[in-house]
């Protein structure tokens, strides 16, 4: 089935559930910007157009925000540009106070449609604000940098702690291929890292399905399979910004976001590999230091997850050990963060107990091992894809040193309640011992 036929549709799936794709339009074509007024006029959820809020930051305004503003004005649509201010260390952040500010400014503009121009943070701020105001929003993408365009969730920081906020995806995602291909290379390689993460996140999803009875959908797990040859047959095409590869990557990022929306959790696109990136982000924030882009860190996390599975699945019969009793509070440094991480870690214990019981049953390990081995990729495969695409493969590439990376590897299992390869690695005795070897073998540049 052509994926585009699913836009805005409801359909029955082999997994037994009915799926709904809430995004109605996906335009990745030359001239997409000129079609924004037509998309707005076709929105069934609004009657008369009272006005359009146009959200951008300083960079995305220059990339094409100004052009979008012009297109809207030429179509006689009343538009209020809202520029989100930069933070001291760089671009805007998606936190509660910035979102409140954006929301107040949209409300004050008296509009009933929101258009956002940008990628990660700007898209998230707009998604969050529009949802709270009950307004439809369109996103004009500026980079193939992450898979959040079509996702319902917002990666936000509330009171200093990173959380996922439930919101609603945009009604339309539009992009000009030239703009996406010309985006800074780090952004495209970040998107590449976020996309190839799915091999490892799918392995974790299957692990949770097999041992903890988590819902699993084959269709959602494999949603981008038909697009992968465009950017994985020759990953150099990503480094060389070849339109076909970048277009394939952008489309894969879009549909990977749809898979998360359809399933209602981040399971189809986020597992243990993502924990490395979340941990590096949180710890950098607490220490008031910059960190690299989500997807570039996720790419390295994907090598780590592949290397952990490689070692775990090699075990004929793992002798399970107890997980560390508590988190190492001093690593997380700030009291609210320690409290949040500790609550997540404590909540995981239920899953750890079930996994312990299940793996003690005869035959379970052999079956699990065989199933996971068909999905997980080898660490050299992941590293090779990232290297050829020009992505980050070691700590120096993401601005941290070996000890920061190792510390993150040894604490990332503490921060989320969901069971992943990282927990299994601790239980099987692969961690903490393998951290140095994995860095030496796979993460040294």
Helix (H, G, I), strand (E, B) or coil at 114: strand
What gap in Å lies between CA 18 and CA 377, rounded to an integer?
30
Residue closer to Zn ion, measured from CB, 117 or 223: 223
Q: Does 176 engage in binding with Zn ion (CB under 5 A)?
A: no
Residue closer to Zn ion, measured from CB, 18 or 233: 18
* Shortest distance, position 219 Cβ to Zn ion, whole Å: 5
Residue list 12-31, contact with Zn ion (CB under 5 A)? 13, 15
* Shortest distance, position 16 Cβ to Zn ion, whole Å: 7
Residue closer to Zn ion, measured from CB, 186 or 194: 194
What gap in Å lies between CA 150 and CA 162, rounded to an integer?
20
Burial class (CB in 10 A: 0-12, 13-18, 19+), 288: exposed
Determine which helix (DSSP H) or strand (DSSP E) holds 422, and give its type and residue range. Answer: helix 421-427
Residue closer to Zn ion, measured from CB, 94 or 427: 94
Residue list 361-380, contact with Zn ion (CB under 5 A)? none
* Shortest distance, position 85 Cβ to Zn ion, whole Å: 25
Query: Which range in 37-45, 216-224, 306-314, 332-340 contacts Zn ion by CB under 5 A?
Result: 216-224
Member of 217, 238, 352, 424 binding Zn ion (CB under 5 A) = 217
Write out the two tokens for 151. 């996702």
Helix axes 198-212, 272-286, angle to 10 degrees: 110
Member of 28, 128, 192, 219 binding Zn ion (CB under 5 A) = 219
What gap in Å lies between CA 177 and CA 404, rounded to an integer?
37
Q: Does 194 engage in binding with Zn ion (CB under 5 A)?
A: yes
Residue list 380-399, contact with Zn ion (CB under 5 A)? none
* Shortest distance, position 35 Cβ to Zn ion, whole Å: 28
Residue closer to Zn ion, measured from CB, 103 or 278: 278
Residue closer to Zn ion, measured from CB, 13 or 346: 13
* Shortest distance, position 83 Cβ to Zn ion, whole Å: 26
DSSP 147-209: S-TT-SEEEEEETTEEEEEE----SEEEE-HHHHHHS-HHHHHHHHHHHHTHHHHHHHHHHHH
Name the region of 288 (left: φ>0; alpha: ψ -120 to 50; beta: rest).
Answer: left
Find all residues with CB under 8 Å of 311, minimum gap 6, and list them: 425, 430, 434
Per CB under 5 A, residues contacting Zn ion are: 13, 15, 194, 217, 219
């Amino acid at each position: 089935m052509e994926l585009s036929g699913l836009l805005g549709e409801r359909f029955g799936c082999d997994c037994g559930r009915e799926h709904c794709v809430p995004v109605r339009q996906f335009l990745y074509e030359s001239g997409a910007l000129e079609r924004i007024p037509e998309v707005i006029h076709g929105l069934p959820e609004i009657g008369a157009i009272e006005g359009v809020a146009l959200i951008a930051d300083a960079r995305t305004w220059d990339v094409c925000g100004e052009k979008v503003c012009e297109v809207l004005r030429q179509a006689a649509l009343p538009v209020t540009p809202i520029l989100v201010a930069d933070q001291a260390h760089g671009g805007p952040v998606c936190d509660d106070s910035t979102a409140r500010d954006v929301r107040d400014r949209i409300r004050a503009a008296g509009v009933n449609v929101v258009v956002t121009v940008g990628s990660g943070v700007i898209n998230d701020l707009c998604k969050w604000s529009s949802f709270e105001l009950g307004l439809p929003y369109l996103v004009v993408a500026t980079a193939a940098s992450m898979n959040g365009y079509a996702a319902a969730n917002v990666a936000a920081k509330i009171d200093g702690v990173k959380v996922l906020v439930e919101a609603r995806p945009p009604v339309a995602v539009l992009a000009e291929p030239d703009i996406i291909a010309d985006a800074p290379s780090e952004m495209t390689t970040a998107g590449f890292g976020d996309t190839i993460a799915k091999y490892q996140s799918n392995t974790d999803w299957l692990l949770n399905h097999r041992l903890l009875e988590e819902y699993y959908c084959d269709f959602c797990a494999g949603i981008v399979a038909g697009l992968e040859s465009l950017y994985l047959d020759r990953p150099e095409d990503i480094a060389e910004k070849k339109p076909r590869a970048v277009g394939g990557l952008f489309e894969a990022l879009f549909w990977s976001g749809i898979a998360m929306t359809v399933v209602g959790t981040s399971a189809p696109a986020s597992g243990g590999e993502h924990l490395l990136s979340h941990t590096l982000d949180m710890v950098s924030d607490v220490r008031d230091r910059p960190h690299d882009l989500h997807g570039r860190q996720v790419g390295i996390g994907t090598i780590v997850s592949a290397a952990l599975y490689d070692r775990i699945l090699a075990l004929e019969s793992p002798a399970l050990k107890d997980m560390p009793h508590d988190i190492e509070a001093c690593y997380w440094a700030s009291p609210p963060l320690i409290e949040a991480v500790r609550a997540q870690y404590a909540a995981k214990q239920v899953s750890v107990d079930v996994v312990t019981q299940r793996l003690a049953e005869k035959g379970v390990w052999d079956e699990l091992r065989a199933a996971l081995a068909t999905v997980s990729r080898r660490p050299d495969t992941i590293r090779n894809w990232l290297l050829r695409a020009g992505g980050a493969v070691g700590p120096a590439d993401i601005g941290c040193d070996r000890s920061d990376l190792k510390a993150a590897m040894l604490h990332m299992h503490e921060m989320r309640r969901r069971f992943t390869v990282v927990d299994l690695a601790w239980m099987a005795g692969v961690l903490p011992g393998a951290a140095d070897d994995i860095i030496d073998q796979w993460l040294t540049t």
